[in-house]
Amino acid sequence: MARTIKIFDTTLRDGEQAPGFSMNLAEKVEMAKQLERLGVDVIEAGFAAASPGDFAAVQAVAKNINQSTVACLSRLLKKDIDIAAEALALAKKPRIHLFIATSDLHLEYKLKMSREQILAAVGEMVAYAKTKVEDIQFCAEDASRSNREFLYQVYAKAIEAGATVINITDTVGYSAPEEFARLVCDVRENVPNIKAVDISVHCHNDLGMAVANSLAAVQAGASQVDCTVNGIGERAGNASLEEFVMNLSVRKDVYHACCQVDTREIYKTSALLSSITGIKVQPNKAVVGANAFAHEAGIHQHGIMANRKTYEVITPESIGLPVNKIVLGKHSGKHALNQRLLEMGYALTAVELDQAFEKFKALADRKKEVSDRELEVMVIQRAIQIPQTYQLANYSVSMGNSISSTAWVQLVHKSGQVREAAVASHEGPITAAFQAISQIVRVDFQLVDFVINAVTPGTDAQGEVYAKIRCGGRIYTGSSVGMDTVEASICAYIDAVNTMLWAMGRQ
Ligand code: KIV
Ligand code: ZN
């Protein structure tokens, strides 16, 4: 009989806190809704006490999610717990995720607390959190490097005080699978009241073992796994949700366990995260990498044509990867577009379909065929609506190998006012255009990352552009897509500026 493992997704907390992966409130809500469609049991929405922005994000996710439990991270501090409870007030199923480190290394150098002090804090703060929210997950940070006897006492104390889930962590990704499985067994055997609660595991990927350790933990009796989409997270990341889930699904014979995730939503969830953050997964990434279903070698292609099972253990359909059946082009109508989008899992409202059809027609006029990937980029971009403080009206650039590049950019402010600037730069026309926009906007910010990817192979590919800017210690991501990469770059930069102004309340 297969056990059901709960999936605790921490993309919006552990994932989002990694450099380059920050998301704004609208993006977090969009991502949370997709995680709910994916079917995760718990969405960790953030660490509300960390900043007003985090608080607002947890609150917004709590309000918008109906099925999944919404969790908020909290230190063992009354003020953190109060803030977490307030942020979760509108959640249908709220959970506070309390954590404190338990290894001697952390106690001595980070917390400067004795074991007795930790134990007292665990008892007191779990009990306090329990007065606010029924569902309490208690996490011992750096559990895998903690003294075993002390760890048992800490978990026993947390359960006694009302914890419903205990979290066993491999915070620094140091464990080997057998070792981590032993730790889970030891906790099960030595913590007296353990049967009353779920055992979660939280593995990092510093040595590339996060998924292997999570699977070993399931075999040892863990009933919940913390993971993130595309494996994002602190340093080398967390256990990758898609890899963990597909292991359960494909190797039922080994793990005898299943979960509630609808695997057909995996590809879409991964693509949405890449689109929001501007960070693509490596091409050879298991399950969701661009090459995960590509067969280059002749002998492999021959095998695949005869029977896909020769070289594929997962089908593209099982993760919802679009497999093109009909080709859309400039003669295709709105109905065909809608049909194709539905097959790809995107149900658009009538207004959204009209907007998508307009973009589709513009693209189909310039290209013979429009691929599924291009359709996907088109509809994912529609999802996040940031107020358009500035819009591009006109631009022109000049460049050459022996002259400075120049750019003239004209923007329309939402008040209707037209503003323009012209700049010359030795660093090329895109830099010149960006500097012209910065002059118009007059806020002190810096460009920190700029990426152009081809949406499809071929010389007629559209460019998918991401621009990241930093202002006041925060990163804002803008994106755009188009056949003209200079224009798409300018639009991505304007999008980043609009996101920044919106977050600063200055739109
Ligand atoms: O890695 C870790 O130990 C954590 C906990 C705070 C859950 O992220
Ligand atoms: Zn972590």
Ligand 1 neighbourhood includes 44 CB (under 6 angstroms): no
Query: Tokens 């990241």 — which residue?
Result: 468
Query: Tokens 């400039």 — which residue?
Result: 330
The two three-digit tokens of residue 275, written as one number:
């689109």
The two three-digit tokens of residue 294, written as one number:
């590509």
Q: How far is the CA of 200 from the centre of ligand 1 (A)?
A: 12
Ligand 1 neighbourhood includes 175 CB (under 6 angstroms): no
Contact between 39 and 6 under an 8 Å Cβ cutoff? The reply is no
Ligand 1 neighbourhood includes 243 CB (under 6 angstroms): no
Residue 24 burial (CB count, 10 A): 22
Helix 241-250 vs helix 266-277: angle between axes, to the nearest 10 degrees?
170
192-203 core/surface letters (b: 16 or more CB in 10 A; e: else): eebeebbbbbbb
Ligand 1 neighbourhood includes 47 CB (under 6 angstroms): no
Task: Give tens-digit pLDDT for 298-353.
Answer: 777 777 778 888 888 999 999 998 765 567 888 889 998 998 888 887 888 898 89
- Using CA positions, which residue lies closest to atom 1 of ligand 1? 171
Q: CA-CA distance, 354 to 382, in Å (whole number)?
A: 11
Ligand 1 neighbourhood includes 141 CB (under 6 angstroms): yes
The minimum-distance atom of ligand 1 relative to the CA of 14 is 8
Q: Residue 504 has what pLDDT?
A: 84
The minimum-distance atom of ligand 1 relative to the CA of 142 is 3
Q: CA-CA distance, 122 to 156, in Å (whole number)?
A: 10
**9 phi/psi in degrees, rounded to 5:** -95, 125
Q: How far is the CA of 381 from the centre of ligand 1 (A)?
A: 32
Judging by DSSP bridges, how do beta strands 224-227 and 165-170 pair with one another? Answer: unpaired
- Using CA positions, which residue lies closest to atom 5 of ligand 1? 141
Ligand 1 neighbourhood includes 99 CB (under 6 angstroms): yes
The minimum-distance atom of ligand 1 relative to the CA of 143 is 3
Q: How far is the CA of 226 from the centre of ligand 1 (A)?
A: 10
Q: How far is the CA of 99 from the centre of ligand 1 (A)?
A: 7
The separation between CA 113 and the C-alpha centre of its own chain, rounded to angstroms, equals: 34
Break the chain down into helix, strand, coil percent, rounded to 5. Answer: 45, 20, 30
Contact between 295 and 42 under an 8 Å Cβ cutoff? The reply is no
Ligand 1 neighbourhood includes 468 CB (under 6 angstroms): no
Residues in the chain with pLDDT < 70? 296, 323-326, 381-385, 507
Pick from 111, 136, 141, 175 the residue to mutate for probing ligand 1's pocket: most ligand atoms within 8 Å of its CB: 141
Q: How far is the CA of 204 from the centre of ligand 2 (A)?
A: 6
**411 phi/psi in degrees, rounded to 5:** -115, 150
Query: Tokens 């929405």 — which residue?
Result: 45
Of 414, 313, 317, 300, which is closest to residue 372 (Cα–Cα)?
317
Planar angle of CA 94, 269, 165, nearest 5 degrees: 30
Q: CA-CA distance, 454 to 459, in Å (whole number)?
A: 9
Ligand 1 neighbourhood includes 139 CB (under 6 angstroms): yes
DSSP for 6-36? EEEE-IIIIITTSTT----HHHHHHHHHHHH
Q: CA-CA distance, 365 to 370, in Å (whole number)?
A: 10
pTM higher than 0.85: yes
Q: How far is the CA of 235 from the centre of ligand 2 (A)?
A: 9
Can you give the three-state secondary structure of 276-299, one letter per residue?
HHCCCCCCCCCCCCCCCCCCCCHH
The two three-digit tokens of residue 487, written as one number:
């224009």
Specify which residues 170 forms β-bridges with: 203
Q: CA-CA distance, 109 to 461, in Å (whole number)?
A: 53
Q: CA-CA distance, 245 to 38, in Å (whole number)?
A: 11
Q: Residue 324 has what pLDDT?
A: 59
